[in-house]
Structure 1
Amino acid sequence: MIATPAGSPKAGPRTVTPTVETVLGFVNTRADGSGRRELFGDGESFAAWLAEREEFNGETVATDADAAVARELRDALVTVLLAHSGDEESLGEPLLRAERHLRRVGSLYPLATVVTAGGVELASPQTGVPRVFGTV
């Protein structure tokens, strides 16, 4: 649930929130048949992608291992999103593996509740690349 300050317009059913934009931006980084290239191929390419994203404060220090973690997180999210859209190949064991992976990521990169006069949000208390993974 997204808390909105008094007087703010409420999000409609088709409104894309900044949080959704972050997840969609993250999952849409893999290569595909239409010529899109892999954006998390190594630490350098992952760092370049992060540097372009305001929500990550231009985080640019990333290793090849960070890029591998990003690809695994992304692939798990893609599997879950495809399963929710009715993709038969994503159901069963692939979905169970993806859900297990996302639970593990959630425990490694936890979120904290931040309460302010303007509302409530979940935010990563970590810094650097771990904050990126928690935010996603």
Structure 2
Amino acid sequence: MTQPEQAGLVLSLVNTAAGDRDDELADAGGLRGWLDGAGYPDADVTDADAAVVREVRDCLQLLMLAHSGDDAATRDRVQAAETRLARTADQVPVTLLITATGVSLRAPGTGMWAALGAVLAGVADLDRAGVWERVKACRNDICHAGFFDRSRNGSAVYHGPNCASMVSMRAYRRRRKSDDG
């Protein structure tokens, strides 16, 4: 299965904090860089705007961890994330684009709110296409990179073989240590 186009922007946002690298959205400058790269330039963003976008990103990442069956995605945390995303969705500009070949959502304009609208519209389009649950976050605790699960049966939980190997090795060492102790 190939990754749908709509997953690109969603994964781009979630992966601004993936792995052990610095948070790309730590401040207004980082947010401006991400917005420029995503095609939604906004020179007037502030550190408070960056905090709003980080919150949306973290909520999406948690839902994607739930898709991966990660223990961190408890029912209470998922419900809180869904509530925060619903609150944000009320503030973003999204319109319907109706054509002879179908209906899609789009975020008009530029800037931070349009970018968030495009991300949330992407999630809606992925859900409508029946593939939202294939957009996952890596279960490796030090990674959590977003990825599209291309496996035939939708069972992938790590974004790549390195993370799968790392988690397996940690589990092996834990078992070995408990056997020795």
**Shorter-chain TM-score range:** 0.7 to 0.9
Q: For structure 1, which runs of at least 5 residues remain unmatched after alignment?
A: 1-13
- Which residue identity does 1:89 align to in structure 2? A
Matching residue of 1:67? 50
Q: How far is 1:122 from its partner?
A: 0.2
The whole-number CA distance in structure 2 between the counterparts of 1:31 and 1:112 is: 30
Q: How far is 1:32 from its partner?
A: 3.1
Query: TM-score of the superposition, structure 2-length normalised?
Result: 0.60
Matching residue of 2:103? 120
2:72 aligned counterpart, secondary structure: helix
Q: How far is 1:124 from its partner?
A: 1.7
Aligned length in residues:
118
Q: Does 1 or 2 have the higher relative contact order (CA < 8 Å, sep 6+)?
A: 2
1:74-116 Cα deviation digits (max 9, x unpaired): 0000000001110122122111110101111111114211113
Matching residue of 2:32? 47
Cα distance change, pair 39–73 in 1 and its aligned pair in 2 (3 A): same
- Which residue identity does 2:28 align to in structure 1? G
1:10-29 equivalence runs, <5 A: 14-29=1-16
Do 1:48 and 1:60's aligned partners in 2 also have CA atoms closer than 8 Å?
Answer: no
Do 2:42 and 2:110's aligned partners in 1 also have CA atoms closer than 8 Å?
Answer: no
Q: For the aligned residues, what is the CA RMSD?
A: 1.7
Q: How far is 1:120 from its partner?
A: 2.5
1:30-82 Cα deviation digits (max 9, x unpaired): 1533xx2210011111101221224x3xx142211111111000000000000
Q: For structure 2, which runs of at least 5 residues remain unmatched after alignment?
A: 120-181
- Which has the higher mean CA deviation after the structures are superposed, 107-116 or 78-87? 107-116
- Which residue identity does 1:113 align to in structure 2? L
The whole-number CA distance in structure 1 between the counterparts of 2:13 and 2:63 is: 14
- Which residue identity does 1:45 align to in structure 2? G
- Which residue identity does 1:96 align to in structure 2? Q
2:90 aligned counterpart, secondary structure: helix
Identical pairs, percent:
37
1:12-39 Cα deviation digits (max 9, x unpaired): xx22122101101110001533xx2210
Query: Would you identify which runs of 4 or more consecutive aligned residues in structure 1 move more than 4 Å?
Result: none
